[in-house]
Structure 1
Amino acid sequence: MSAPATAGMPASLTLAGAGKMGGAMLAGWIEAGLDPRATAVVDPSPSPEIAALCAARGIRLNPEAPEPAAVLVLAIKPQGLEAAARALDRMIGDDTLVVSILAGKTVADLTARLPRARAVVRAMPNLPASIGRGATGAFAAPGVSAGQRAVADALLAATGTVAWLDAEAAVDAVTAVSGSGPAYVFLLAETLAEAGIAAGLAPEVARALARATVSGAGALLDASEAEPDALRRAVTSPGGTTAAALDVLMRGDGLAPLMREAVAAAQRRAAELAG
């Protein structure tokens, strides 16, 4: 028998796919009060870290015949949905909430392949969920009850900020902005370090300063109530060094149009993954 839900966590949960994102979310859920004994992980090739977590916390790893749980979380690769659909559908009961983090797979895609799915939440988390600092956009399909949405909110909020969306079409934009967004920030740290090396800094110094600058600026943004543009202006003296750099980054062919193009490309790719 499943243990009672704790702190809004579901009474039982099955995680299908425990890669980087699925594994990060699982760790957050366990810390937030999800009962490990009522939790199952289904992954044909679990990482050593996931295997160790399951062994240490008593989570069932690849049970022979997983029973339908209160929540089934789909965290497999989107391209693998077709092949896994029959096995996944057997994990769904009459009252199971399906939470999908499969990029590009719409509610219609999911219900077509999983006929037993009556209540579906689409969500797009990001990798900082692994340290409890994730950003997730979520959409609840019409079949999701208020209680199920509250459970989904508790699960997603256990790994960071959650923004609920009024329209499913917005999920692809979330994928492009916050889902892929950490990679854009990591690239900024990379290119800032490369620019420092080109300016004459030793590689180890440039990398250390770039890393600390990006992480420190993010921490300041999180701690401050000011908007990003206000913080930018606060560190920009007229005619100073920062202003000279921003003149380059903010010109017509600078960072803003490149970011719009990048987000649009990611959004298109998310749409292509549907079907």
Structure 2
Amino acid sequence: MDFSEINERGLVLVGCGRMGGAMLTGWLRNGIAPGAVTIIDPNASADWAEKGVRVNDDPPANPAVLVLAVKPQMMGDVLSELTPGADSLVMSVAAGVTLSAYEKAFPDAPVVRVMPNTPSAIGRGISALIGNDAAGAAQLGLAERLMSVVGEVVRLENEGQMDAVTAVSGSGPAYVFHMIEALTDAGIAQGLPEALSLQLARATVAGAGALAMEDDTPPSMLREAVTSPGGTTAAGLDQLMDKEHGLPPLMLRTVAAAADRSRELGQ
């Protein structure tokens, strides 16, 4: 993957927590030179400097990319302190912060909003992106290349879709982790030892997810293939698929609440 422009001009990463660190790990594995990266984060791990990354040094005046990976609540302070180069791509992974907010801080700059998720840490993430009017094909292509090293990438038709993306895939891993917790607790309630129930729940969720990714069969048909009429799976699904108290109405409320909060953060 060609990152020659970044290696020549540099990449500035503002915020190197879990998500910033996951992205940086992928970038370094895929051709970005450590010395081309400058991390701006007072809490950055010393390990990055040992790998040759510049940590809290003066950033280049006109980096190829300025990546904003801080929490939304911190973004206001960060934007007031930064000045991208004349043709730097500004790429943000902060939930809820709109393109218009970046355009006010960086007039005329090409800006791309990205919503990745935490499986990016193992290269199994999915990211959605949308650019402002100043972000042309070259800038969108560069953002897509950067995010593709940590998983799949999709482009959105309009920024209004970003709140739903945040609620589904951005927050979604937490929903799945909680399902593993709940499935583990349910197994314990049926007499399984805790460690065994957790092992079964983890492997079942991971395996089912992998099968859904590898098989083009719609999830509904995969579900039906496991479900024998009058069998154990059918008995369980009678509870899980209940139209009033089952998973479908619960997921509707869950995703709606997360999307609403994303919209609030963008105000």
**TM-score range for the pair, normalised by the shorter chain length:** over 0.9
Residue 66 of structure 1, CA deviation: 4.4
Give the Cα separation in 2 of the matches to 1:33 and 1:238. Answer: 53
Give the Cα separation in 1 of the matches to 2:128 and 2:178. Answer: 22
Question: Counterparts of 1:1-275 in structure 2 under 5 Å?
Answer: 6=2, 10-11=6-7, 12-46=10-44, 48=45, 51-56=46-51, 58-88=52-82, 90=83, 92-112=84-104, 114-116=105-107, 118-252=109-243, 253-275=245-267
Residue 216 of structure 1, CA deviation: 1.2
Residue 68 of structure 1, CA deviation: 2.8
Q: Is the 8 A contact 2:5 2:64 kept in 1?
A: no
Residue 117 of structure 1, CA deviation: 5.4
Q: TM-score, normalised by structure 1?
A: 0.92
Q: Is the 8 A contact 1:9 1:151 kept in 2?
A: no
Q: TM-score, normalised by structure 2?
A: 0.95
Cα shift readout 1:135-191 (whole Å, capped 9, x = no counterpart): 111101110121111111100111101110010010111000000000011011000
Any idea what SS the aligned residue of 1:10 has? helix
The alignment-based identity, stated in percent, is 47
Gaps of 5+ in 1: none
| AA at the equivalent of 1:107 | L
Any idea what SS the aligned residue of 2:159 has? coil
Deviates more, 1:245-254 or 1:66-75: 66-75
| AA at the equivalent of 1:170 | Q
Count matched residues: 264
Give the Cα separation in 2 of the matches to 1:210 and 1:30. Answer: 33
Residues 266, 8 of structure 1: alpha-carbon distance in 2 compared, 3 angstrom cutoff: farther
Residue 36 of structure 1, CA deviation: 1.5
Gaps of 5+ in 2: none
Cα shift readout 1:11-35 (whole Å, capped 9, x = no counterpart): 4211100111111011011111112
Give the Cα separation in 1 of the matches to 2:6 and 2:167. Answer: 29
| AA at the equivalent of 1:37 | G
Q: CA RMSD in A?
A: 1.5
